[in-house]
A and B are shown apart, each in its own frame.
Chain A
């Protein structure tokens, strides 16, 4: 199955700009389904971005982050070709991880 994670990391002058999109329902626990039943909360709690043994970015999320969450940030000290590993875990213990190369 295709990864839930899509990421683009582009280096310019030692700075790496990262954008990511994760496929996840991010159910808040307050919405109802077609039958009027509450859809239980199901949301990503932690996302990490690590490169060369170091975490460069962490996102802690609550249930009010939008479905299919998007993130954008940048960090210093990266270069083209560096590996960048993105991992998430959610409140139900599910997780995914993906390693990409900085372009």
Chain B
């Protein structure tokens, strides 16, 4: 079988320290908030080092899904370019040092959409 070319990690985007420059490095415009994106995150992280994130996009022609955490040292956390036939429905886990927002960005049909949620990160205790 043919061996497909390995995709190249977009270093410029992953070293950005804010959302605007990460978007620019990806060649993306500012996204528009969309309720067609379902971003599932815990209200309070059970473990800031392992925060489950799942993103489902209900719009047609989804090409990429990105996860950004602007308060982390590097904003872009994950980028999932989707092959044709791959469902716009992914789950992964991220690290968060403190209470902050998580932004899911979806590139679809030549446009950019986003959904944002806060996750509370707490020291815990006191039941």
The answer to A–B direct touch (Cβ < 8 A) is: yes
Contacts of A15 in B (CB 8 A): 87
A65 lies within 8 A of chain B by Cβ: yes
- How far, in angstroms, from A18 to B107 measured CA to CA in the complex? 22
Known: A53-B2, A55-B7, A77-B85. A71 touches B92 (CB 8 A): yes
Chain B interface size range: 35 or more
B77 lies within 8 A of chain A by Cβ: yes
- How far, in angstroms, from A66 to B91 measured CA to CA in the complex? 12
Is the beta-carbon distance between A76 and B85 smaller than 8 angstroms? yes
Is the beta-carbon distance between A66 and B87 smaller than 8 angstroms? no
Could you count the A-B residue pairs with CB atoms below 8 Å apart for me: how many are there?
110
**Contacting residues of chain A (12-60) with chain B, CB-CB under 8 angstroms:** 15, 26, 28, 30, 45-46, 48, 50, 52-60
- How far, in angstroms, from A57 to B89 measured CA to CA in the complex? 12
Contacts of B72 in A (CB 8 A): 64
Enumerate the 3 nearest inter-chain pairs by beta-carbon distance, A residue then B residue, closest first.
A72-B91, A66-B93, A45-B9
- What is the interface of chain B, defined by CB distance below 8 A to chain A? 1-4, 6-10, 14, 49-51, 54, 69, 72-74, 76-83, 85-87, 89-97
- What is the interface of chain A, defined by CB distance below 8 A to chain B? 15, 26, 28, 30, 45-46, 48, 50, 52-67, 69-77, 87, 89
